[in-house]
């Protein structure tokens, strides 16, 4: 079954077209990595899928149901969760309270406090600590846990490793590996090696457009680098 489908999706900020006609579909359980330079449209695309930024044109479907006009909280209850760039935890609340907020706004399913702690054991000793006092890696783990406890069928993770130490990134990806197969994952990742090693499919955005799409093992570094920097487009513009 197709878990997530985008059909000619465009996103704008006033006159600026940030996302240009993206179309793709992901089967249940698939893992997609999204890469691209700063300003390529990655976060805007994730926010449009999550319902946090309007879709100017095109359609978004979740599990065969079009959700383009759904609000963000309705999408969460339909099975879509976003772990946003910057984590966005409620810093004055405890980790337990942050997780409770996720649970109260999600849907019924197998993910609860016990199962989240089983998947993310590093959270357990932090439950009664204020989220604002955590390290970057700890905050990322809690943000993933808060998304998980909503019981998503599709999990969006924006800038997974941004600002984290190498050790913290290792911990986050170990946790994500335990989630593989339980849900569809879309990961925006700045670390190309991580993206290629973890995902089964990789897309590259350049200036808001889909520049490259394929299995990581079938793509060369040169192809990815050219797509990342929009070299093909630059050559066409000077032809």
Name the strand (E) or helix (H) holding 237. helix 231-237
pLDDT tens, 15-69?
999 999 999 999 999 999 999 998 999 999 999 999 999 999 999 999 999 999 9
- Domain 2-237 adopts which CATH fold? Rossmann fold (3.40.50)
Query: CA 86 to CA 157: how far, in whole Å?
Result: 11
The answer to whether the beta carbons of residues 132 and 88 sit under 8 Å apart is no
pLDDT tens, 185-213?
999 998 888 889 999 999 999 999 999 99
Residues whose CB falls within 8 Å of the CB of residue 150, separated by 6 or more in sequence, listed in order: 76, 81, 102, 103, 105, 106, 107, 111
Q: What is the mean pLDDT of residues 2-19?
A: 96
- Per domain, the residue ranges of the chain are 2-237
Query: CA 212 to CA 35: how far, in whole Å?
Result: 10
pLDDT tens, 86-95?
668 988 999 9
pLDDT of the residue at 231: 62
Query: CA 102 to CA 150: how far, in whole Å?
Result: 6
Q: How far is CA 56 from CA 6, 45, 69, 71, in A?
A: 13, 12, 11, 15
Cβ atoms < 10 Å from Cβ of 174: 11
Mean per-residue pLDDT over the chain, rounded: 90
The answer to whether the beta carbons of residues 177 and 187 sit under 8 Å apart is no
The answer to whether the beta carbons of residues 155 and 179 sit under 8 Å apart is yes
Is the pLDDT at 70 greater than 50? The verdict is yes
Q: What angle do CA 39, 40, 42 make, to 5 degrees?
A: 100
Q: Give the model's confidence band at 229: pLDDT under 50 very low, under 70 low, under 90 confident, else very high.
A: confident
Is the pLDDT at 139 greater than 80? The verdict is yes
Q: Give the model's confidence band at 237: pLDDT under 50 very low, under 70 low, under 90 confident, else very high.
A: very low
């Amino acid at each position: 079954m197709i878990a997530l489908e985008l059909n000619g999706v465009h996103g704008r900020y006033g006159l600026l077209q940030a996302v240009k006609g993206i179309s793709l579909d992901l089967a249940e359980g698939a893992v997609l990595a999204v890469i691209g330079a700063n300003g390529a449209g990655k976060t805007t695309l994730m926010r449009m899928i999550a319902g946090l930024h309007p879709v100017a044109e095109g359609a978004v479907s979740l599990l065969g149901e079009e959700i383009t006009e759904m609000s963000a909280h309705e999408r969460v209850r339909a099975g879509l969760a976003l772990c946003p760039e910057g984590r966005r935890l409620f810093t004055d609340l405890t980790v337990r309270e942050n997780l409770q907020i996720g649970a109260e706004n999600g849907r019924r399913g197998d993910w609860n406090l016990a199962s989240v702690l089983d998947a993310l054991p590093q959270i357990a000793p932090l439950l009664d600590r204020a989220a604002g006092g955590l390290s970057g890696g700890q905050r990322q783990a809690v943000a993933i846990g808060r998304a998980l406890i909503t019981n998503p069928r599709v999990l969006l993770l924006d800038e997974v490793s941004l600002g984290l130490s190498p050790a913290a990134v290792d911990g986050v990806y170990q946790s994500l590996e335990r989630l593989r197969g339980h849900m569809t994952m879309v990961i925006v990742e700045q670390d190309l090696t991580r993206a290629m090693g973890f995902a089964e499919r990789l897309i590259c955005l350049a200036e808001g457009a889909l520049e490259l799409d394929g299995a990581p093992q079938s793509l060369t570094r040169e192809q990815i680098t050219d797509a990342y920097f929009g070299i093909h487009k630059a050559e066409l513009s000077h032809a």
